[in-house]
Copies of this chain bind each other. A is one copy, B any other.
């Protein structure tokens, strides 16, 4: 019997995907190089050459069984140990391989983490503006996603609203720093204040409250900005990482959950992730991809273009009169639209072949997101379109 719930989900279409499809279709009319497609966060810089070399080397030197045989369902031990060692060195943590659970990207990591630390009906709080895919990741686990309104001053945390929304049913907070879509990076002060509040609330409610920290943009931080490591501030924390952005390989679906060694049941959570994977038939990520990323843990793609693009856009947009919090990282910028209705604003921009995503699906009204992981040359040309758009429409 066909499952009506999943069938019904087909009706809702992602706004981002629709815009991306529009951009592709428009590209066929006028040439894709003439569409200023800021819709999708698909990294534009190439994978590091070293990654390709490692892959070829694995294919040429390992036996079939070593390379393509079953990986243990909790991941390949040597890979987990290397990830732990790299995190310990960079962030002064004390992970062991046992605290690392390899996943299919940060999406897989968040989906596993939430199942470990909630039961159906529990509440998970996240903060606007937020990545809209958090809705399926959380709600399809049985937990309920609630959104704390934005602090639009600087896109740090709105603590007043957070404190109002915390309650006995709160099992976890899902945070994302550096943030998609705002580009904001949570400061040490924000993380200290968050940790202090949660410690108090854990005592008050008499149960754990976990931080699930979604960190795919951890390595994309701009000059002069400090990006503190979330798990340094709070024991009950699970770091969810993806190599998609730092190594430019989103298609290869590789990341991990790093379980804070000081959290409740720290020694069990990786194994619990393994049980969750059994039920979804996902098991662990492909063995060759696990083995390859383990050899390039301490390098990234050359991501300097993102900062160049950010500065170009930030300077032009603010000089055109846009109100905008300067991004500290990621490849997103999140300016205020020039009218209250961001959907109408982005609709008008399409006439100038500017593909911008209205903020509504990120849980905030009146803003728009630009994913500037595109060529700088194209960003520069888009500025002319922006000037015309603003001059003619506002």
Instruction: Number of A interface residues at 8 Å Cβ cutoff, please give it.
Output: 83
On whether A281 and B208 interact (CB within 8 A), knowing A251-B68, A251-B71, A276-B6, the answer reads no
Is A47 touching B70 in the complex (CB atoms < 8 A)?
Answer: no
Does A55 sit within 8 A of B, measured CB to CB?
A: yes
Residue of A40, A136, A251 with highest tally of chain B CB at under 10 A: A251
* A104, B272: Cβ atoms closer than 8 Å: no
- Taking a contact as CB atoms under 8 Å apart, the answer to whether A265 and B2 are in contact is yes
The answer to whether B286 touches A7, judged by C-beta atoms less than 8 angstroms apart, is no
A7–B265 Cα gap in the complex (Å)?
Answer: 9
A76 to B, closest residue via Cβ: B251
| Contacting pair B253 A285 (CB below 8 A) | yes
Q: A248-B68, A286-B251 are in contact. Are A118 and B56 (CB under 8 A)?
A: no
> Out of B140, B252, B271, which one reaches A10, CB within 8 Å?
B271
How many angstroms between the C-alpha atoms of A141 and B140 in the bound complex? 11
Please measure, in the bound complex, the distance between the C-alpha atom of A52 and the C-alpha atom of B103, giving whole angstroms.
24
Residue from A55, A253, A264, A269 whose CB has the most chain B CB atoms within 10 Å: A253
CB-based contact A116/B3 at 8 Å: yes
Is A165 part of the binding interface, using a Cβ–Cβ cutoff of 8 Å?
no
Stoichiometry, copies per complex: 2
Partner of A3, one of B108, B117, B281: B117
Q: Is the CB of A52 within 8 A of B42?
A: no
Task: Give bound CA distance, A137 to B282, whole Å.
Answer: 10
A269–B1 alpha-carbon span in the complex (Å): 12
Does A366 lie at the interface of the complex (its beta carbon under 8 Å from any beta carbon of B)? no
Task: Kindly supply a per-residue 1/0 record for chain A positions 295-329, scoring 1 wherever the CB is within 8 Å of any chain B CB and 0 otherwise.
Answer: 00000000000000000000000000000000000
Decide: A282 and B279 in contact? CB cutoff 8 A. Answer: no
Residue on B nearest A58 in the bound complex, by CB: B55
Chain B residues closer than 8 Å to A288, beta-carbon distance: 251-252, 289
Docked Cα-Cα span, A107 to B6, in Å, equals 19
- Please state if B56 and A70 are interface contacts (CB–CB under 8 Å): no
CA–CA, A252 and B42, complex, Å: 24
Which residues of B have CB within 8 Å of A116?
Answer: 2-3, 6
Q: Is A133 an interface residue (CB 8 A)?
A: yes
A235 on the B face (CB < 8 A): no
A225 interface residue per 8 A CB criterion: no
Q: How far is the CB of A216 from chain B (nearest CB, A)?
A: 12
Q: How far is the CA of A333 from the CA of B4 in the complex (A)?
A: 40
Q: How far is the CA of A40 from the CA of B73 in the complex (A)?
A: 14
Chain B residues lying within 8 Å of A52, measured Cβ to Cβ, are 59-60
Closest residue on chain B to residue A275 by CB atoms: B9
Known contacts A2-B265, A68-B252; 7 additional CB pairs below 8 A are A3-B119, A7-B272, A43-B69, A64-B249, A103-B281, A140-B278, A288-B289
Query: Interface on A for B, CB 8 Å cutoff?
Result: 1-7, 9-10, 40, 42-47, 52, 55-56, 59-60, 63-65, 67-71, 103-112, 115-119, 122, 133, 136-137, 139-141, 171, 207-210, 248-254, 264-265, 268-269, 271-272, 275-276, 278-289
Could you name 30 residue pairs across A and B whose Cβ atoms are closer than 8 Å? Answer: A2-B208, A2-B265, A3-B115, A5-B119, A6-B116, A6-B276, A7-B268, A42-B70, A43-B69, A44-B65, A47-B64, A52-B60, A56-B59, A68-B251, A68-B252, A70-B251, A103-B281, A104-B282, A108-B280, A108-B281, A108-B283, A110-B281, A112-B281, A139-B279, A251-B286, A251-B287, A253-B285, A280-B280, A280-B282, A286-B286
